[in-house]
Chains A and B, each alone.
Chain A
Amino acid sequence: SAVISQKPSRDICQRGTSLTIQCQVDSQVTMMFWYRQQPGQSLTLIATANQGSEATYESGFVIDKFPISRPNLTFSTLTVSNMSPEDSSIYLCSAATGEAFFGQGTRLTVV
Chain B
Amino acid sequence: QQQVKQSPQSLIVQKGGISIINCAYENTAFDYFPWYQQFPGKGPALLIAIRPDVSEKKEGRFTISFNKSAKQFSLHIMDSQPGDSATYFCAASMRGGATNKLIFGTGTLLAVQP
Tell me whether A43 and B104 are in contact (CB under 8 A): yes
Interface size of A in residues (CB-CB distance below 8 Å): 26
Partner pick for B43 among A41, A48, A98, A105, CB 8 A cutoff: A105
Q: Give the number of A-B contacts (CB < 8 Å).
A: 58
Docked complex: A77-110 residues within 8 A CB-CB of B: 92, 94, 96-105, 107
Q: Which residues of A contact B (CB under 8 A)?
A: 1, 4, 6, 30-31, 33, 41-45, 48, 58, 92, 94, 96-105, 107
**Residues of chain B contacted by A101 (CB below 8 angstroms):** 46
**Residues of chain A contacted by B101 (CB below 8 angstroms):** 33, 45, 48, 58
Tell me whether A98 and B107 are in contact (CB under 8 A): no
Chain A CB within 8 A of B49 CB: yes
**Contact-size category for B:** 20 to 34
Complex Cα distance A92/B100, Å? 16
Known contacts A42-B89, A42-B106: does B43 contact A102 (CB below 8 Å)?
Answer: yes
**Residues of chain B contacted by A94 (CB below 8 angstroms):** 102
Which A residue sits closest to B97, measured CB to CB? A98
Mark interface residues in B19-58 (1 if CB within 8 Å of A CB, else 0).
0000000000000001010000111111001000000000
Which B residue sits closest to A104, measured CB to CB? B43
Complex Cα distance A42/B3, Å? 12
